[in-house]
Amino acid sequence: MLVKIGWPRFELMNILDEAPAGSDVRGEADFYQLLYELKAEQGWTILQISHDLDMVRKHCSEFVLGCERSVVCCV
């Protein structure tokens, strides 16, 4: 799911909830390449919600890890 919202601090924020779920490896790679390009060209801020910690480590510059409705760490 992709949601675009205006946020006072950000010109445009895109919220992705398990966006590439169900994609094959190539589809996921293409998806993240497109996000990198749009972020660079359009200045997008992206909030990615995911249970895939390997994806988070590979593709996210900053993250908040939560467990049992509590923040575990912020990087």
pLDDT category of residue 67 using cuts at 50, 70 and 90: confident
pLDDT for the residue 9: 57
33/6 Cα distance (integer angstroms): 23
pTM: 0.62
Domain containing 61 equals: 2-74
> Do β-strands 2-7 and 70-74 pair in parallel, antiparallel, or remain unpaired?
unpaired
Which pLDDT belongs to residue 11? 60
| Pairwise CA distance, residues 11 & 43, whole Å | 8
User: CA nearest 50: which of 71, 66, 26?
Assistant: 66
Q: Tell me how many domains the chain contains.
A: 1
Signed CA dihedral, 33, 29, 75, 10: sign only: positive
pLDDT-derived band at 57, boundaries 50, 70, 90? confident
**Residue range 10-23: mean pLDDT, rounded:** 75
Q: Mean pLDDT, to the nearest integer, of 54-59?
A: 80
